[in-house]
Chain A
Amino acid sequence: MLVKLIRQYSRPYLPYILAVLLFQLASTIATLYLPSLNAKIIDEGVAHGDTDYIWRTGAIMLAVALAQILTAIAAVYFGAKTAMAFGRDLRRSVFRKVSSFSAKEVNRFGAPTLITRGTNDVQQVQMLMLMGLNFMVSTPIMCIGGIIMAVREDLSLSWLVWVSVPVLVAVVGYLVVRLMPLFRSMQEKIDGINGVLREQIIGIRVVRAFVREPYEAKRFGSANQDLTNVSVKIGNLFVLMFPAIGMILHLSTAAVLWFGGQRVDSGDMQVGALTAFLQYLLQILIAVMMGTFMAMMIPRASVCADRIGEVLDVEPTIHDPESPVVPAQRRGHVEFRDVTFKYPGAEEPVLSNISFSAEPGQTLAIIGSTGAGKSTLVSLLPRLHDVASGQVLLDGVPVTELDRQEITKRVAAVPQKPYLFSGTIEHNLRFGKTDATDEELWEALETAQAKGFVAEKSAGLNRRIAQGGTNVSGGQRQRLCIARALVTKPKVYVFDDSFSALDVATDARLRRALKEKTRDATVIIVAQRVSTIADADQILVLDNGRIVDRGTHQELLETSPTYQEIVESQLTPEEVA
């Protein structure tokens, strides 16, 4: 997957990548040329006492150094450009893909992991790309170049390269391979120990209430010991790394001097060539070592790439119809025809054989215990999910045959979990209708019983909202979400348990105000509280995914045992009577 992603997303930047290669090559050649110039200073200049030659060669060296820095900077320029553009494109692809997902695909992954994949994982792959272009590319160039230059200086010493490079790779590779799983295990232990601490802090009252301090201390102690043990193990291996590398480098140096000395003595080699050879060998070894370290990034980036690939490979299950039906009328009539719905992988359907219809001007309420399928039912109307069988119709047309815009314009939903976006109150209220006037916003706030707390603060509509709306109380958040739906003035309102955080009095006032505003609209309310829905035109009692009873409050009080139980649990007998 990593290779596939890199190939696919770097294709537009092929010229840049070629430029990187070219400049890296030039820069490497310059780097390699310096020792050979230095060798000439020794062999031609020093050995013959030719000071002019030394000066001239020095000037050339300076020019070469300048060329080296310029080409290196150019390589970095194109490398950074390519890697960052690569990351940008990949990130955009992930975002677009997830945007095309239906609720089903989002739920399959879960929002948190999608976020990690879209942010951290992309960054990891992008980083590999950057490091790859900046360093990994130069490793083979440096190796090959170094070998060529070294061989040019002295062919018969070149066996030193063939020996020392594999030894270095073997030693570094061995340690890296041994260390990688240990690092992973250390990370798990750190997560483990931090998890124990987190739990204790968040659950501190529970820990204290049950006098579990000694138990937690024991748990922590063993987690801590685990971590220490792994860390010591890692340390024991890790501290071998640099002495070992150092020894290999120094042994190579000594070998060059020793064997080179013999060749110099026999007149087969010049002294300058010897020093040059020495420097080449060191440069090759260092390049190889860097390459090996860089290679450590690959496994992790490849895990990230796989995770990204999983997202990109998903085909969204909900598509807009190719030739959408244009409805004859846009009144907001809702009908469910024998709808059955099942979550993927689940054995039992969440909803079975649901049929009902709701007329404009009517309020339809759905009540039932937790897990009865109420939220799933209302999520079918804005087409967050598609039914397994049956049909959901809006103004007589199945929602699957409508353009999404047709649905969003007519249906506004207030979700169970009131979610606000970061920004201002105004920005949130305009979410459904960007061109709403301030008057419209205030009107919606008034209906939603939110005008008071918004107007009370000097910032008013410009008051800042934190991500998710965590800086306003639950009840306020709910009312802002209701106002957001009201601003769009839809034909159909869906309130999914949207009044739960309100006290009864506010709830009553809100519903009264709402009633006037939604006179011509279809209102679908999911609720827990009987008082919220008692005046609905029709109440569906849902149990285990089936409609067990339907009717008005009065009718159900008389006929539905399930409804009676619910009412009984909430009100006193005198009140029910």
Chain B
Amino acid sequence: MSGQTDGHNEQKRGWAARAEAVKAAKLDAAKVSAADEAALTSLPDGEDLEEEEYRPTEADGGMFGQMPAKKAKAFGPSAKRLMGLLKPEGPGVVLVIGLVVVSVVLNVIAPKVLGSAMDVIFGGIIGKQLPAGVTKEQFAEGLRQQGQDNFADMVGKMDLSNGIDFPKLTFLISIVLLMYFVANIFLWAQGYILNRIVMKVINRLRNDVQTKLNHLPLNYFDTRQRGDILSRVTNDVDNVQQGLQQAFAQLVSSVLTVLGIIVMMFIVSWELALIALIALPLSGIVAGVIGSKSQKLFAAQWKNTGALNGQIEESFSGHDLVKVFGRDADMLERFDERNEELYRASFGAQFVSGVIFPAMNFVSYLSYVGIAVVGGLRVASGSMSLGDATAFIQYSREFTQPLGQIAGMANMLQSGVASAERVFEFLDADEEVRENATGHLPARTDGHVEFKHVSFSYVKDRPLIEDLSFSAEPGHTVAIVGPTGAGKTTLVNLVMRFYELDAGRITLDGVDIMDLSRSELRSKVGMVLQDAWLFGGTIYDNIRYGNLDATEEQIMAAAKATYVDRFVRALPDGYQTVIDEEGNNVSAGEKQLITIARAFVSDPSLLILDEATSSVDTRTELLLQKAMAALRTDRTSFVIAHRLSTIRDADTILVMEEGKIVEQGNHTELLALEGAYYRLYRSQFAGEDAEEVAVDDSTAVHT
């Protein structure tokens, strides 16, 4: 409904244009987060897959397109809490409301005064027509005798002067100007103050979100779609900001203006007020009927846009495949079909929504004509002054504008509250167990790790690790092997205290990690994750992330030791190469090397490598292993790997199955056992079945 009012709708448009500018640029960010979402929601089972929902953007609907507002689950409480955010700014808010009230009252009264100015002019003109020396009463009597009763009534009621009373006119115009001046100053002042208040509140909200982020347990991130969390902390916060900034400010002034105008209309003429009010339900019906129709059409447009954009995305992403399989022509054909569908849908949507504007205009014209005619008749009969009639016309025109705004604002407010609710849910999530740091590690840590009867589960009643005990001696390399889902990654995550134990304890150099602060514990551990994740920044900064105090020499040394130096030298910008969002400029293997360098530079006592080299090609890995061997010498390390060469040299191999350690020993010992390790070894490294392999791959490799 935004934009259906006539040209007076400046304020709305300005903000809309701004919101649009913001939204469009937001597109890219949204796209990336949508990709994250898609990546993370990847269901193991495709059958439940629904058509991906397309999120409309402002560009699809333009100014007439209302996006379907997300509904809040509990509007009342959430709205209340949202308003609660403004509480610390109480005095400011009261001031703003006071300024709005004054400004609205002045704005509403001014047309009436302006109407009086009109009366002065009109009265002066009529007065001039009087023959000299004749009084108003005599003139009216004369008219009556001529049969012009109406005119006589009017003249009789008028305040006539001989010629326009310029001092009075000047006075009235000055009053009006003063009123408008004060009203606008107040309008500006309230906007100025409100903007600062809202920005302060939003700044605080954002900081709260950031603080919360650091206090949430990892479990929170594991159990939710990443895209969902992202949109809560980004898009939803933006949305709250817009809701507060626009809806809040305008809703108050719009509602007040409507009320004020209604009051003024009844004061000036209740008969005309009734005519104007008839237009109210009428425009409501028009907007409702066309609006709901256009909502449906917009939904169709969005659906088609989504489908078409999806196809464009696929065709461009899978460009090579389309070429290789020679499907260009089919793709074009399908594109043309969908493009045509989109054209039809969007034409319908744009046309019907475009009709709202003229239709609402028409309704307002109806009341305009009604007021002009009835007002004219009443002025002519003397029961109303001309100034009141012109004031009334102004009122009736100004009336429709805030009404349209209220409808638009309600939509925005609704979506703002829904977003606020989602942010609040995030802020209300359970936090990590508070720290109870009573202990400290010895100054020189050996990296002696012990698990004592450890039990852990992500979901209650579904134990993952049960009663697990083992000890990793200082300086030893512990390899953890086992099938997917055996709990390997969980085990090393427990050492980092990413999760809290259900039972048992883990000690580092004899100190229970529960007695340590998380930061003290983690600063002693270097971890390289399977998912080589880098920050958007230079390669140099990414390595330095492991130790912000590292000198350039230390960073270079780490880079050299981990073979990062070798490929960085080949990049045009060297260490200053910026890792971009897509990460296209470095390969997955190179990324892994950088993450290893990052751990290297942090110089930990305990090293955890979780599939750290899975994407590195085998030759580089071989070189890297030598480097890692050096890194590992005086450190305890936990290594999760699937490559035999990495596991073979470990001091201890833990074989995990279903959360338990089923075997423990070194490579030779375990092979000799011919148990779980032996089976795993056969299936992973030598083909599934020795016989089959012998028949098929009769090469030297698999003997």
Does B223 count as interface, using CB distance less than 8 angstroms?
Answer: no
Query: With A and B bound together, what is the CA distance between A83 and B697 in angstroms?
Result: 64
A198 contacts across to B, CB distance below 8 A: 32-33, 36, 230, 234
A464 contacts across to B, CB distance below 8 A: 46-47, 49
Query: With A and B bound together, what is the CA distance between A488 and B321 in angstroms?
Result: 13
Q: Is the CB of A51 within 8 A of B325?
A: no
Partner of A111, one of B60, B319, B342, B687: B319
A89 CB → nearest B CB, Å:
9
Q: Is the CB of B187 within 8 A of A264?
A: no
> Contacts A224-B203, A247-B184 given: A190-B347 contact, CB under 8 Å?
no
Q: Is the CB of A84 within 8 A of B347?
A: yes
A87 contacts across to B, CB distance below 8 A: 343, 346
Query: With A and B bound together, what is the CA distance between A571 and B22 in angstroms?
Result: 56
A417 CB → nearest B CB, Å:
9
B8 contacts across to A, CB distance below 8 A: 286
Q: Is the CB of B622 within 8 A of A565?
A: yes
The number of chain A residues touching the other chain, given as a range, is 35 or more
> Contacts A201-B221, A208-B218 given: A49-B380 contact, CB under 8 Å?
yes
> Contacts A92-B339, A112-B582, A528-B618 given: A242-B702 contact, CB under 8 Å?
no
Does A98 count as interface, using CB distance less than 8 angstroms?
Answer: yes
Does A265 count as interface, using CB distance less than 8 angstroms?
Answer: yes
Q: Give the most central of B10, B154, B697: most A CB within 10 Å.
A: B10
Q: Give the most central of A77, A206, A264, A505: most B CB within 10 Å.
A: A206
Does A439 count as interface, using CB distance less than 8 angstroms?
Answer: no
B317 and chain A: residue at smallest CB distance: A111
Does A210 count as interface, using CB distance less than 8 angstroms?
Answer: yes
Query: With A and B bound together, what is the CA distance between A427 and B546 in angstroms?
Result: 47
Does B328 count as interface, using CB distance less than 8 angstroms?
Answer: yes
> Contacts A51-B150, A384-B320, A505-B683 given: A69-B362 contact, CB under 8 Å?
yes
A48 contacts across to B, CB distance below 8 A: 151
- Contact string, A274-293, partner B, CB cutoff 8 A, digits 1/0? 11000000010011011001
Does A329 count as interface, using CB distance less than 8 angstroms?
Answer: no
> Contacts A69-B362, A76-B351 given: A95-B324 contact, CB under 8 Å?
no
B31 contacts across to A, CB distance below 8 A: 112, 116
Query: With A and B bound together, what is the CA distance between A204 and B212 in angstroms?
Result: 13
Q: Is the CB of A471 within 8 A of B46?
A: yes
Stretch among B174-182, B411-419, B449-457, B628-636 lining the A interface:
B174-182
Stretch among A60-68, A154-162, A334-342 lining the B interface:
A60-68
Q: Is the CB of A261 within 8 A of B688?
A: no
A-side interface mostly: helix
- Contact string, A346-364, partner B, CB cutoff 8 A, digits 1/0? 0000000000000000000
Does B425 count as interface, using CB distance less than 8 angstroms?
Answer: no
B30 CB → nearest A CB, Å:
10
Query: With A and B bound together, what is the CA distance between A278 and B619 in angstroms?
Result: 84
Q: Which of B561-603 contact A (CB under 8 A)?
A: 567, 582, 584, 587, 589-590, 595, 598, 602
Q: Is the CB of A186 within 8 A of B386?
A: no
Does A455 count as interface, using CB distance less than 8 angstroms?
Answer: no
B548 CB → nearest A CB, Å:
7
Query: With A and B bound together, what is the CA distance between A508 and B695 in angstroms?
Result: 11
Q: Is the CB of A553 within 8 A of B701?
A: yes
Q: Which of B503-532 contact A (CB under 8 A)?
A: 518-519, 522-523, 525-527, 529
Stretch among B12-20, B75-83, B265-273, B436-444 lining the A interface:
B12-20
Q: Is the CB of A80 within 8 A of B351?
A: yes
Q: Which of B54-92 contact A (CB under 8 A)?
A: 57, 59-60, 62-63
Query: With A and B bound together, what is the CA distance between A261 and B43 in angstroms?
Result: 76
Q: Is the CB of B118 within 8 A of A257?
A: yes
Q: Is the CB of B214 within 8 A of A213?
A: yes
> Contacts A198-B33, A201-B213, A217-B211 given: A431-B343 contact, CB under 8 Å?
no
Stretch among B307-315, B465-473, B653-661 lining the A interface:
B307-315
B249 CB → nearest A CB, Å:
9
Q: Which of A473-529 contact B (CB under 8 A)?
A: 473, 488, 503-505, 508-509, 512, 528
- Contact string, A379-420, partner B, CB cutoff 8 A, digits 1/0? 100111000000000000000000011011101110100010
B310 contacts across to A, CB distance below 8 A: 422, 467
Does A130 count as interface, using CB distance less than 8 angstroms?
Answer: yes
Partner of A243, one of B27, B60, B184, B209: B184
Query: With A and B bound together, what is the CA distance between A124 and B221 in angstroms?
Result: 36
B518 contacts across to A, CB distance below 8 A: 208, 211
Query: With A and B bound together, what is the CA distance between A472 and B44 in angstroms?
Result: 6
Q: Which of B620-661 contact A (CB under 8 A)?
A: 620-622, 643-645, 648
Does B169 count as interface, using CB distance less than 8 angstroms?
Answer: yes
Query: With A and B bound together, what is the CA distance between A235 and B245 in angstroms?
Result: 10
B312 contacts across to A, CB distance below 8 A: 95, 115, 118-119
Query: With A and B bound together, what is the CA distance between A5 and B442 in angstroms?
Result: 72
> Contacts A206-B529, A254-B176, A467-B314 given: A264-B372 contact, CB under 8 Å?
no
Query: With A and B bound together, what is the CA distance between A186 and B21 in angstroms?
Result: 10
Q: Which of A133-181 contact B (CB under 8 A)?
A: 134, 179
Stretch among B130-138, B188-196, B275-283, B474-482 lining the A interface:
B188-196
Query: With A and B bound together, what is the CA distance between A566 and B617 in angstroms?
Result: 9
B132 CB → nearest A CB, Å:
16
Does A200 count as interface, using CB distance less than 8 angstroms?
Answer: yes
Q: Is the CB of A210 within 8 A of B522?
A: yes
Stretch among B254-262, B353-361, B402-410, B551-559 lining the A interface:
B353-361
Does A369 count as interface, using CB distance less than 8 angstroms?
Answer: yes
Does A366 count as interface, using CB distance less than 8 angstroms?
Answer: no
A434 contacts across to B, CB distance below 8 A: 330
Does A436 count as interface, using CB distance less than 8 angstroms?
Answer: no
Q: Is the CB of A471 within 8 A of B319?
A: no
> Contacts A49-B150, A257-B173, A471-B46 given: A431-B327 contact, CB under 8 Å?
yes
Does A47 count as interface, using CB distance less than 8 angstroms?
Answer: yes
> Contacts A54-B376, A206-B529, A528-B617 given: A85-B343 contact, CB under 8 Å?
yes
- Contact string, A550-577, partner B, CB cutoff 8 A, digits 1/0? 0001100100000001101111100111
B497 and chain A: residue at smallest CB distance: A208
> Contacts A197-B213, A264-B124, A466-B46 given: A236-B195 contact, CB under 8 Å?
yes
Partner of B361, one of A68, A232, A293, A422: A68
B620 contacts across to A, CB distance below 8 A: 369-370
Q: Is the CB of B519 within 8 A of A408?
A: no
Q: Give the most central of B335, B346, B373, B648: most A CB within 10 Å.
A: B373
A79 CB → nearest B CB, Å:
7
Query: With A and B bound together, what is the CA distance between A214 and B195 in angstroms?
Result: 29
Does B148 count as interface, using CB distance less than 8 angstroms?
Answer: yes
Q: Is the CB of B203 within 8 A of A275?
A: no
Partner of B319, one of A106, A300, A553: A106
Query: With A and B bound together, what is the CA distance between A250 and B121 in angstroms?
Result: 18
A66 and chain B: residue at smallest CB distance: B362
Query: With A and B bound together, what is the CA distance between A258 and B181 in angstroms?
Result: 17
Does B285 count as interface, using CB distance less than 8 angstroms?
Answer: no
B230 contacts across to A, CB distance below 8 A: 197-198, 201
> Contacts A48-B151, A257-B114, A505-B687 given: A264-B125 contact, CB under 8 Å?
yes
B128 contacts across to A, CB distance below 8 A: 265, 267
Does A343 count as interface, using CB distance less than 8 angstroms?
Answer: no
Partner of A217, one of B214, B343, B347, B376: B214
Does A437 count as interface, using CB distance less than 8 angstroms?
Answer: no
A-B contact pairs, 13 of them (CB 8 A): A65-B366, A130-B62, A184-B21, A197-B233, A203-B533, A216-B210, A250-B180, A261-B121, A384-B324, A419-B318, A422-B52, A503-B684, A568-B622
Given A72-B361, A290-B13, A431-B325, 20 extra CB contacts under 8 A: A46-B379, A47-B125, A51-B381, A61-B365, A66-B362, A80-B350, A95-B315, A123-B305, A190-B238, A209-B529, A216-B214, A225-B203, A236-B195, A250-B184, A264-B124, A293-B17, A464-B49, A473-B44, A572-B645, A572-B648
| Closest 8 pairs (CB-CB, A-B) | A49-B151, A239-B191, A235-B195, A408-B326, A505-B688, A286-B7, A58-B373, A72-B358
